[in-house]
Amino acid sequence: MEPPLAPPPPSLTVLLLLALALLGSAGLTRSLSITPADQSMFEKAEGEKVTLPCTFVLSDEDEGPLDIEWVLIPTDNQKKEQIIIMYAVDRIYNHYYAAMTGRMQFTSADPKSGDGSLDILNLKSSDTGTYQCKVKKAPGVQSQKIQLTVLVKPARTKCSIEGSQEIGKDVTLKCASQEGSPLLSYDWRRVPDTQELPATSTLNRNTGELLLKNASQEYSGVYSCVASNRVGVDECSIELNVTPPINTAGIIAGAIVGTLLGLSLLAFLVFCCCKKHREKKYEKEVHHDIREDVPPPKSRSSTARSYIGSNRSSLGSMSPSNMEGYTKTPYSQVPSEDFERTSGQNQTFASSKYGIAHKIGDITVV
């Protein structure tokens, strides 16, 4: 049996057609190209300026209109890309992204010259993200991604001391920045720099704590803390003053004595107030005991005058002949204030008990 015949070699015409097709496709691919950036990741500090590169080269085969656009790629794949700025039909459109209005622009005043780089001014931490430059000129299309990270410099760094500043005690110097992007690093040093940190000190660069064990007076002095990250530094300082232990017993004794004196003074004031209150109360009680409806007592002289007057009226009817029965009685026996008259009756006097010396003319009657 004869072996099968080999297939005829491809004709020269077919080979030429394949070669032309490959050359044509290669020409289309090379028609538009973006110059690779020197770096694809940028780190900048807040408030600074950044230029995101995007330069390109056109070819004669690219005949369509030129479009250049910058977009912000969201971290969430479910969200759409956000157009930031665009160049199309020889015009610039920069009103798409309100968060960057007034802070972005093309680096070149004429982007179609081959420079579509983007300038972002006064950077904010919210500007962090992935940016993509797209250049279109039919039939060519090319793009390039750049990662931007905006960091915040350390700021408002404060130093503090924790623990008793006494000899033999453990003292901790603390340092913390109120602002600043991680990763923050802290470093302590003594002022001036010629002095080294105590041998017993332990530094934690992540938390900013400097532990000084078994402090002595040699540890006293000024300490400075420097907070730093990849975009900036900030610092603060504090003075440490290690002193001998405080006499706690003396302080306690003084406090006790002071308390006792205060209590004694308070008791004395309370006693004085109570005494004064009792005196006022007694005066009020005595005043209310006086009866307003009782007339004042008669005086001795008025009582004697009334008594003598009454007896004069009685003697006016007597003659010397009928006055023999009266006996002489001292005038000093005139009734006193205690004499009381019986209601509805006249005063009567017994001749044996009372006597009155009365002078009638030249005769004295007893």
Give the CATH number of domain 33-151.
Answer: 2.60.40.10
Which DSSP state fits 203?
A: E
Query: What is the C-alpha separation between 235 and 119, in angstroms, rounded?
Result: 32
Q: How many CB atoms lie within 10 A of CB 277?
A: 10
Amino acid at 260: L
pLDDT of residue 191: 92
* Helix, strand, or coil (residue 92): strand
pLDDT of residue 138: 86
Flag residues of the chain having pLDDT under 70: 1-30, 247-250, 284-366
Compute the CA torsion angle 151, 234, 242, 253 (nearest 10 deg).
-70
Instruction: Write the class of the CATH domain 155-240.
Output: mainly beta
* Helix, strand, or coil (residue 10): coil
pLDDT of residue 21: 45
Q: Which pair of tokens denotes residue 285?
A: 């009680």
> Which residue reads 């002595």 in tokens?
216
Q: Is the bond into 139 cis (omega within 30 degrees of 0)?
A: yes
Q: Which pair of tokens denotes residue 132?
A: 């993509």
Tell me the per-residue pLDDT of 272-319, one tens digit each, with 9 for 90 and over.
888 887 777 777 666 655 555 555 555 555 444 554 455 554 444 444
Tell me the per-residue pLDDT of 62-73, one tens digit each, with 9 for 90 and over.
888 999 999 999
In which residue ranges of the chain is CATH 2.60.40.10 found?
33-151, 155-240
Which distant-in-sequence residues (6+ apart) come within 8 Å of 84 by Cβ?
A: 69, 70, 71, 72, 94, 96, 97, 100, 104, 118, 131
Burial 294-321 (b: 16+ CB within 10 A, else e): eeeeeeeeebbeebeeebeeeeeeeeee
Query: What is the C-alpha separation between 43 and 183, in angstroms, rounded?
Result: 13
Amino acid at 24: G
With the C-alpha atoms ordered 242, 244, 249, 251, is the resulting torsion angle positive or negative?
A: negative
* Helix, strand, or coil (residue 331): helix
pLDDT of residue 195: 87
Q: Which candidate, 201, 225, 224, places its Cα nearest to that of 213?
A: 201
pLDDT of residue 362: 52
pLDDT of residue 294: 53
Query: What is the C-alpha separation between 143 and 120, in angstroms, rounded?
Result: 19
Q: Which pair of tokens denotes residue 288?
A: 């209310």
